[in-house]
Structure 1
């Protein structure tokens, strides 16, 4: 009943763990030296360790590196400034740096990290920088880089503000599936609901990208949009099903799903989400 991780995903996790093990006990100077390593993923793990340790020296280094002529150092600087602990003065300076990098840097990876880091800073500061992010997103939703548009969707997910909806609708109509996936996630996590959002979700039901399609199915079911009923029946008839899809049948409230849920019960046995959904739909059916 759980998502099966691919061999590729497992390999990525193993590599990440290897780099984490390599960096976790290194002294600060060794970690700083790794920022220039040819392997960017290793450099990023070193940056994560420096970010976690914090301190004025690392903050000043990241602020200076944001003006480096090497794009990787600017990207790592943007990453570090996203979640490192800052005092009021340091935060004011860092926010300006991140905003400028997100809007003006020539490197897409730098712009992407800067947008994500602004999202993290907004989240850490209890969303007080939401207006800043909304202002930035007016430009970054149109960025030519997929990475930047994905980061924009992520950043818009960290706070709830209905002014985000027009921006997220643009991202839901993006040409790239990963952008649409993150935009759908942002819509769902903040429970936005408009007719246009639902129509965008209906279009996502034909996406080849499973994650984007998954968000659309869950979103439509929770909004009680019965255009998703036949898709749910199809998904719940597969050899591998997902607990969340079983769970949202109760939200959808379409009693025509009961035969499919009974088949799920016969095939997989009982479990909490299934029992709840069957109970809800049987109760609804008894009132018809």
Structure 2
């Protein structure tokens, strides 16, 4: 039976009472798509539960309720009210992810509240924080992301580096220095995000890094090719043509990727 044929009540019953989490996000997604008042009110009711799992379900449904977004101001008000007293790390991280889906009009006070979680001991909370402030091109969020690019957790570093490298337009010495600090990160995704961020800013010193990365590119190097496109230096036309010849022998990367980047530079 397709989920679209499930009543709202049945969807909530399944997500609240199923022992398995197998279809958890499918149920959440279906509830989010519907714009009915009873789903909205039920979700708000769940956020008031004393049981964390139920509270999180309400938070998750509200995060992307309705298409386009409905009741955004009211939802944010609920989230920030919860943050005042909540201690459960899983609930806090869910709230932060929810804020991330609705962060286009956060006030300075709300931004300060969110950024206050930057030193939280839970990696899930810190990761949720990155999501909450991603794309906010203001001093406080940028400084918070800069701190999180140095986080001990590689996923947090990766997303924070992605945040300042790709998701904002600001460009200054501190941002570039932060990206350069991640160029040799042990996590490859973080390293690639730093390279892309510098290529986007046309940092002349990233050119040699891009050359070296192109020489050793493999099946995981699509972001390097995107960075080369962003850097848009015609010298890479010849380098790509040479790499295409080498790749015909070693077959380390999808040839179509190389050809697409070559075409975009010509």
> What's the TM-score once normalised by structure 1's chain length?
0.76
2:50 paired with 1:69: yes
Tell whether the 8 Å contact from 1:177 to 1:207 is kept in structure 2 after alignment. Answer: no
Distance (whole Å) between structure 2 residues aligned to residue 69 and residue 40 of structure 1: 20
SS of alignment partner, residue 186 of structure 2: coil
Which of 175, 182, 196 aligns to 1:218? It is 196
Distance (whole Å) between structure 1 residues aligned to residue 212 and residue 3 of structure 2: 46
Q: 1:250-269 alignment to 2 at 5 Å?
A: 251-252=230-231, 260-266=239-245, 267=247, 268=255
- Tell me the residue number matched to 1:16: none
Which of 273, 277, 280 aligns to 2:261? It is 273
Q: 1:185-224 alignment to 2 at 5 Å?
A: 185-187=162-164, 188-224=166-202
Query: Structure 1 residues 65-74 or 136-145, which shifts more?
Result: 136-145
Deviation at 1:164, TM superposition (A): 2.2
Distance (whole Å) between structure 2 residues aligned to residue 209 and residue 131 of structure 1: 33
Give per-residue Cα distances to partners, 1:96-153, cap 9 Å, x unaligned: 221133454222221111112122123xxxx222535412222122222211211221
- Tell me the residue number matched to 1:137: 114
Deviation at 1:92, TM superposition (A): 4.6
2:24 paired with 1:47: no
| CA 1:149–1:258: 2 relative to 1, 3 Å | same
SS of alignment partner, residue 116 of structure 2: helix
- Tell me the residue number matched to 2:250: none
SS of alignment partner, residue 5 of structure 2: coil
| CA 1:200–1:265: 2 relative to 1, 3 Å | same
Q: CA RMSD in A?
A: 2.9
Tell whether the 8 Å contact from 2:115 to 2:129 is kept in structure 1 after alignment. Answer: no
Give per-residue Cα distances to partners, 1:190-247, cap 9 Å, x unaligned: 1222222222222222223232122111111222234433432332123525444234
Count of aligned residue pairs for this structure pair: 253
Q: Which structure 2 residue ranges, 5 or more long, are not aligned?
A: 248-254
> What's the TM-score once normalised by structure 2's chain length?
0.81
Give per-residue Cα distances to partners, 1:17-56, cap 9 Å, x unaligned: xxxx863432222111112222235233212211211322
Which is helix-richer, 1 or 2? 1
